[in-house]
């Protein structure tokens, strides 16, 4: 087999292996988080730059570097995949980290070169000149990567309208255009620092176009088989870069301010209808428990009738503050309507949710201990996946158990077994 053909086959194997490992880590983000995926992406940055600078092979159409063809092209596709399935704010994090890390490396080396060094092992001397060269190459390469990531995101948004529905064509158009820009930019640095011949520019460009086809095809297959195509985003102007890169942060801030109940300050019913299906769905994907606690104030109408609606509003505000202070930081507490509240607890099993419900019941009793006709709570607890894997099932079970608590005498929490926490009058006397 000719050497150039053998090198070509190895290059394809490297690309497939890289893509398989990286997309596996990306696919497992729901279970382990994105940290592993992002760390692996960053760890390979040095060897990627090193190989792109000094390691070349011969292919039928010219001389190329696997570091540039496989690792860098693959990294760009991974960043685009990250944007498609997550958001631009997440994409920025590894790019900023790489850029700042490279600046730190060069800065520290500039300080370290002033050391008076010793050589305890004969013939082993640090080549700071090599580190300098690689450091500046990595800074240049990461700067290009920063620009590349912005370009590929903007192009992805831009071409959506003109060739919408042709997913593979969109992928290859974006990646091929940006990799062309990157090849020219990185070659200029190689030319200055290493006097690389023009064959490296031409051969590398042809190889990157092949990489664009291969990685785009693999990405399209991966998204079609393992991930659902995201809903199309609103079109943005190319120059509106800040809007593209921060839409998720602004969206979350808008939700935080707009999805609040005016009386209690808790999350409102509209926010519940937005957040709850997403939280329960994510918990099902991760195979984590999620508990829903439905809370109702007992005989609340009598407070309004006896003391007036202003006193009732004050009681609800005080209760909301007390409940919010008794739940975990990650729990979501909503005013569901009137004197009814719903608590969503991600990662909390049924026993833990029953224990929390009992704590909320005691908290309400303590807050209202000095008020005539003080507040008591009835609570119904449901947990996925045992009570169903979707929000409708959890609401149905929690609602039935809430009414079981009321039928059982109120001032209690009822869970799956039907056992209710005792009301204060039923508590055993202390020894």
Q: What is the pLDDT of residues 312-368, one digit of tens each?
A: 899 899 999 999 999 998 999 999 999 999 999 999 999 999 999 999 999 888 875
Q: Residue 229 — φ and ψ, nearest 5°?
A: -60, 130
The CATH code of domain 259-418 reads 3.30.70.270
Strand order in the sheet with 377-384: 332-337, 340-346, 290-297, 377-384, 412-414
Which of helix, strand or coil describes residue 58? strand
Task: Name the 3-class secondary structure at 381.
Answer: strand
Q: How far apart are CA 257 and CA 254, in angstroms?
A: 5
Residue 93's H or E segment, with its range, is helix 88-112
* CA pair distance 2, 8, nearest whole angstrom: 10
Give span(s): CATH 1.10.1760, the chain: 3-112+127-226
Percent helix / strand / coil, the chain, rounded to 5: 65, 10, 25
- Which residues face 294 on adjacent strands? 342, 380
* Mean of pLDDT over the chain: 83
Q: Which long-range contacts (CB under 8 A, 24 or more apart) does 370-374 make?
A: 371/315, 372/306, 373/299, 373/302, 373/303, 373/306, 373/307
Amino acid 257: pLDDT = 59
- pTM, two decimal places: 0.54
Only one residue has tokens 């091929």, namely 176
Spans in the chain with pLDDT lower than 70: 160-165, 228-258, 368-374, 418-431
d(CA 115, CA 100): 24
- pLDDT of res. 233: 44
pLDDT value, residue 426: 41
C-beta neighbour count of 273 within 10 angstroms: 12
Per-residue pLDDT at 165: 63
Residue 17 φ then ψ, to 5°: -65, -45
Report, in angstroms and rounded to the nearest whole number, the Rg of the chain calculated over CA atoms.
30
Fold of 3-112+127-226: Arp2/3 complex 21 kDa subunit ARPC3 (1.10.1760)
Span(s) in the chain for CATH 3.30.70.270: 259-418
**Structural contact between residues 156 and 83, judged by C-beta atoms closer than 8 angstroms:** yes
């Amino acid at each position: 087999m000719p050497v150039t053909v053998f090198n070509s086959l190895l290059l394809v194997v490297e690309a497939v292996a890289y893509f398989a490992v990286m997309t596996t880590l990306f696919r497992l983000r729901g279970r382990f988080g994105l940290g592993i995926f992002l760390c692996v992406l960053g760890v390979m940055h040095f060897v990627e730059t090193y190989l792109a600078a000094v390691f070349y092979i011969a292919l039928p159409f010219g001389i190329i570097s696997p570091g540039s063809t496989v690792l860098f092209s693959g990294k760009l596709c991974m960043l685009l995949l990250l944007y498609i399935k997550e958001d631009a704010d997440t994409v920025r994090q590894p790019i900023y980290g790489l850029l700042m890390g490279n600046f730190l490396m060069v800065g520290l080396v500039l300080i370290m070169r002033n050391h008076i060094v010793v050589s305890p092992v004969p013939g082993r001397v640090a080549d700071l000149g090599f580190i300098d060269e690689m450091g500046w190459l990595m800074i240049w390469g990461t700067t290009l990567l920063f620009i590349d990531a912005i370009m590929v995101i903007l192009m992805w948004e831009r071409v959506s309208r003109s060739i919408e529905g042709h997913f593979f064509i969109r992928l290859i158009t974006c990646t091929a255009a940006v990799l062309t820009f990157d090849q020219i930019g990185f070659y200029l640095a190689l030319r200055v620092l290493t006097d690389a011949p023009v064959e490296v520019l031409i051969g590398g460009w042809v190889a990157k176009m092949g990489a664009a086809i291969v990685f785009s095809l693999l990405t399209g297959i991966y998204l079609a088989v393992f991930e659902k195509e995201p809903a199309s985003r609103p079109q943005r102007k190319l120059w509106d870069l800040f809007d593209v890169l921060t839409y998720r942060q602004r969206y979350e801030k808008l939700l935080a301010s707009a999805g609040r109940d005016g009386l209690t300050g808790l999350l409102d019913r509209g926010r519940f209808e937005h957040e709850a299906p997403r939280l329960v769905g994510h918990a099902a994907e991760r195979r984590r428990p999620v508990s829903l606690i439905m809370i109702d104030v007992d005989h609340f109408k009598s407070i309004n009738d006896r003391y007036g609606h202003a006193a009732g509003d004050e009681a609800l505000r005080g209760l909301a503050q007390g409940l919010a202070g008794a739940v975990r930081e990650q729990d979501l507490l909503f005013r569901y309507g009137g004197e009814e509240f719903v608590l969503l607890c991600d990662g909390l099993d049924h026993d833990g949710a029953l224990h929390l419900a009992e704590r909320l019941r005691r908290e309400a009793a303590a807050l209202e201990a000095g008020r005539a006709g003080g507040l008591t709570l009835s609570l119904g607890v449901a947990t996925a996946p045992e009570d169903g894997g979707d929000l409708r099932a959890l609401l149905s079970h929690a609602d039935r158990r809430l009414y079981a608590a009321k039928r059982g005498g109120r001032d209690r929490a009822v869970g799956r077994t039907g056992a209710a926490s005792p009301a204060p009058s039923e508590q055993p006397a202390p020894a």
